[in-house]
């Protein structure tokens, strides 16, 4: 099993954290993982994207022309990477900030209202954790517990933070929907 994922959005949306957390959790769960950030010289407001590979075997190419999954945090990222998803792959949209215009019919499309859910939970900062929840639900790449272990280790053990992250992950898993 090898899964290649592109995560893309604005700088500041926690795009790199999504990628890193998937990597940390896979490493902790005894799998191979590769996280490769890609950004330009800008700090905030620019675009950011990263590649993640999760594998049971040795990982070769860090980046391929086609990925299994695109996680698009905003509309420009969706447009930019739309063509890089392999036929039969998954596009996971943050539907708080992007709209599916049906430009491809050979991929599965899933939606999660990441920003709206994050606000509901109490902090706009956890929108990326909501998306992680949606991704693991869709792909089955990692279990909820494997993800939580990594989140606890890397994103803080303070009870109120942990509780919020736990809730964000669970809600992401529950509320992700596949479009017909």
Partner 1 sequence: MTKSRDPSALPAGKEGIMERQFLKGNEAVAEAAILAGCRFFAGYPITPQNEIPEYMSRRMPAAGGVFLQGESETASVCMVYGAASVGTLAMTSSSGPGISLKAEGISTLAGACLPAVIVNVMRGGPGLGAIQAAQSDYLHATKALGHGGFRVIVLAPSTVQEAIDLTYKAFGLAVQYRNPVMVLMDGWIGSMMEPVTLPEAKEPVTFSYTGWGAKYFNPSGVGVNVVTSCLLEPEYQELLNIRAGEMYEEWKEKEVLAEEYLLEDAEYVIVAYGTAARAARTAIGELRGKGIRAGMIRPISLYPFPVEHLKRLDRSRVKFLLDTEMTLPVQMMDDIRLAVADAIPVHSCGRSGGVILTNEEIVEAVELAIAKEAR
Among the listed residues 14, 15, 18, 35, the single contact to partner 1 using CB under 8 A: 35
Binding positions for partner 1, 51-70, rule CB under 8 A? 58-66
The site that binds partner 1 (CB under 8 A) totals a number of residues, namely 23
Closer CB to partner 1, 41 or 159, in the complex: 41
Whether the Cβ atoms of residue 25 and residue 146 lie closer than 8 Å to each other: yes
- Which tokens is 80 given? 């930019």
Whether the Cβ atoms of residue 17 and residue 6 lie closer than 8 Å to each other: no
Closer CB to partner 1, 11 or 37, in the complex: 37
- Count CA atoms closer than 13 A to 134's CA, side-chain side: 32
Query: Should residue 33 be labelled a site residue for partner 1 when binding is judged by CB under 8 A?
Result: yes
Closer CB to partner 1, 46 or 60, in the complex: 60
Minimum CB separation from partner 1 for residue 58, in Å? 8
Minimum CB separation from partner 1 for residue 3, in Å? 14
User: Which ranges in 3-81 belong to alpha helices (H)?
Assistant: 15-28, 75-81
Query: Should residue 23 be labelled a site residue for partner 1 when binding is judged by CB under 8 A?
Result: yes
Minimum CB separation from partner 1 for residue 97, in Å? 26
Whether the Cβ atoms of residue 118 and residue 124 lie closer than 8 Å to each other: yes
Minimum CB separation from partner 1 for residue 128, in Å? 17
Task: Please provide the DSSP assignment of 127-165 as one string.
Answer: HHHHHHHHHHHHH-SS-HHHHHHHHHHHH---HHHHHHH
Query: Should residue 36 be labelled a site residue for partner 1 when binding is judged by CB under 8 A?
Result: yes
The C-alpha atoms of residue 85 and residue 116 are separated, in whole angstroms, by 26
**Residue 42, Cβ neighbours under 10 Å: how many?**
10
Minimum CB separation from partner 1 for residue 7, in Å? 14
Binding site for partner 1 (CB under 8 A): 20, 23-24, 27-28, 30, 32-38, 41, 58-66
């Amino acid at each position: 099993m090898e899964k290649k994922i592109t995560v893309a959005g604005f700088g500041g949306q926690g795009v790199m954290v999504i990628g890193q957390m998937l990597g940390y959790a896979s490493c902790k769960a005894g799998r191979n993982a590769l996280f490769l950030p890609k950004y330009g010289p800008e700090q905030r407001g620019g675009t950011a994207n990263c590649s993640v590979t999760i594998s049971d075997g040795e990982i070769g190419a860090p980046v391929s022309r086609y990925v299994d999954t695109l996680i698009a945090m905003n509309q420009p990222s969706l447009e930019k990477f739309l063509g890089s998803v392999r036929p039969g792959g998954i596009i996971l949209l943050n539907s708080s900030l992007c709209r599916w215009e049906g430009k491809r019919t050979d991929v599965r499309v899933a939606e999660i209202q990441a920003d709206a859910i994050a606000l509901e939970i109490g902090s706009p900062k956890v929108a990326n954790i909501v998306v992680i929840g949606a991704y693991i639900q869709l792909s089955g790449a990692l279990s909820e517990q494997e993800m939580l272990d990594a989140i606890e280790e890397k994103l803080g053990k303070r009870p109120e933070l942990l509780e919020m992250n736990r809730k964000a992950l669970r809600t992401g898993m529950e509320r992700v929907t596949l479009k017909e």
